[in-house]
């Protein structure tokens, strides 16, 4: 009998080889390909980010993010209705306040912009899951994600503010909160604050492995939140590190996270995969502003086919292990998937 050699469990010579084996047999038609496809996107995978601003009838396009707008509450409601009609189950809200100050007071004001948007969206589309980003950078005059003392973002005093913000979002009707500031202990502090205020049923989606990424550039235009001095490397993760991501995720789970997020997505597929394999929780990945901007810019130049690259990136993010994808393509992708 002929000797079989195997590499990683697969035969490399002998009967299980070409010409007996022909991989192209299952690629011959679209329906054969559909039968053996391992990863399928659905609109239920998507979370649609919305930027909410004061005013009425405002739809201000973000220059570096074509198709993404700063929206007044009435317009955000329209977007939320459209997203839900496309079978997208959730939106995540970012607020652009009227005034910025050192601690970002509008962030936890009962009539703050995000609180108004939550109420209006929940009134119009009650079933839609409304998630809120819990951070300070859009609200603070220095643009950092926490309280600043002598040029340093101080961790523990910031946690108290995050707790107040999360509770005020829950009071306004938010279904889930998503802390993104990368302070140590933020998930535990928010869990405790929510529980103490009677919101034990509100889940936390933790931005657990959030990197100090240049891919957030366009978001900072959209949310008007660039740091006025320094950068975020004193709290967000070093893109060079992977093992550290597993520690971050493990800590967030220990503190009570219900969903853990990796951010950005496409350049961090190895991290998504590692988190997926190490932990049983739902994993979310954020296809961030810069990822969107790159594809949009190339598509506008006619250098890439927008629909195909967008669906390809979303598919591979899911293939890597993400259960949920925060993406500015959510509405378009849902339309494309439905064949429209």
Catalytic entry in 100, 122, 210, 318 = 210
Task: Return the number of the residue (45 or 133) whose C-beta is nearest ligand PBG.
Answer: 133
Task: Find the shortest distance in angstroms from Cβ 107 to ligand PBG.
Answer: 12
Task: Return the number of the residue (133 or 175) whose C-beta is nearest ligand PBG.
Answer: 133
Closest by alpha carbon to 163, among 149, 142, 177?
177
Contact between 216 and ligand PBG per CB under 6 A = yes
Residue 13 structure tokens: 């010579």
Q: For residues 133 and 92, is the Cβ–Cβ distance under 8 A?
A: yes
Contact between 137 and ligand PBG per CB under 6 A = yes
Report the alpha-carbon distance of residue 161 to residue 96 in Å, rounded: 17
Name the residue with the smallest CB distance to ligand PBG: 219
Size of residue set near ligand PBG by CB under 6 A: 12
Report the alpha-carbon distance of residue 231 to residue 143 in Å, rounded: 10
Give Cα separations from 127 to 34, 39, 174, 201, 202 (angstroms).
Answer: 32, 27, 12, 16, 15
Task: Return the number of the residue (107 or 339) whose C-beta is nearest ligand PBG.
Answer: 107
DSSP secondary structure letter of residue 44? G
Binding residue for ligand PBG, selected from 135, 166, 174, 295, defined by CB under 6 A: 135
Q: Would residue 263 show up in a list of annotated catalytic residues for this protein?
A: yes
Q: Would residue 100 show up in a list of annotated catalytic residues for this protein?
A: no
SS3 content of the chain, % helix, strand, coil (to 5): 40, 20, 35
Query: From residue 165 to residue 184, what is the string marking binding to ligand PBG with x (rule CB under 6 A)?
Result: ---------------xx---
Task: Return the number of the residue (133 or 248) whose C-beta is nearest ligand PBG.
Answer: 133
Catalytic entry in 263, 296, 318, 331 = 263
Q: For residues 104 and 140, is the Cβ–Cβ distance under 8 A?
A: yes
Contact between 145 and ligand PBG per CB under 6 A = yes
Report the alpha-carbon distance of residue 328 to residue 315 in Å, rounded: 15
Contact between 219 and ligand PBG per CB under 6 A = yes
Give Cα separations from 13 to 3, 6, 17, 22, 24 (angstroms).
Answer: 8, 8, 6, 14, 18
Task: Find the shortest distance in angstroms from Cβ 232 to ligand PBG.
Answer: 6
Contact between 289 and ligand PBG per CB under 6 A = yes
Question: What does residue 92 show for φ and ψ, rounded to 5 degrees?
Answer: -120, 130
Give the residues lining the site for ligand PBG (CB under 6 A): 133, 135, 137, 145, 180-181, 216, 219-220, 232, 288-289
Positions marked catalytic: 210, 263
């Amino acid at each position: 009998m002929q000797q079989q050699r195997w590499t990683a469990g697969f035969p490399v010579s002998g009967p299980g080889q070409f010409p007996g084996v022909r991989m192209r047999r299952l690629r011959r038609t679209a329906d054969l390909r559909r039968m053996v496809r391992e990863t399928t996107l659905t609109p239920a995978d998507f979370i649609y980010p919305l930027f909410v601003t004061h005013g009425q009838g405002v739809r201000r396009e973000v220059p570096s993010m074509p198709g993404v707008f700063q929206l007044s509450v009435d317009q955000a409601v329209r977007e939320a209705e459209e997203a839900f009609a496309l079978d997208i189950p959730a939106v995540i809200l970012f607020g652009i306040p009227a005034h910025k100050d050192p601690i970002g007071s509008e962030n936890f004001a009962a009539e703050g912009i995000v609180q108004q948007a939550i109420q209006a969206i929940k009134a119009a589309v009650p079933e839609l899951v409304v998630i809120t980003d819990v951070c300070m950078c859009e609200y603070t005059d220095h643009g950092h994600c926490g309280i600043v003392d002598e040029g340093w973002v101080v961790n523990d005093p910031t946690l108290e503010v995050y707790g107040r913000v999360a509770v005020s979002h829950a009071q306004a009707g938010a279904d889930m909160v998503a802390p993104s500031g990368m302070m140590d202990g933020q998930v535990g502090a928010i869990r405790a604050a929510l529980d103490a205020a009677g919101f034990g049923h509100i889940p936390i989606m933790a931005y657990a492995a959030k990197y100090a990424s240049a891919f957030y550039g366009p978001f900072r235009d959209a949310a008007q939140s660039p740091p006025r001095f320094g950068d975020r490397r004193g709290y967000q993760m070093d893109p060079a590190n992977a093992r550290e991501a597993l520690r971050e995720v493990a800590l967030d789970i220990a503190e009570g996270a219900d969903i853990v997020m990796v951010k950005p997505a496409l350049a961090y597929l190895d991290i998504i995969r590692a988190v997926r394999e190490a932990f049983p929780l739902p994993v979310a990945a954020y296809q961030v502003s810069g990822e969107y901007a790159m594809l949009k810019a190339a598509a506008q130049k006619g250098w890439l086919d927008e629909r195909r690259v967008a669906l390809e990136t979303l598919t591979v993010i899911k293939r890597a292990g993400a259960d949920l994808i925060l993406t500015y393509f959510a509405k378009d992708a849902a339309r494309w998937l439905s064949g429209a």
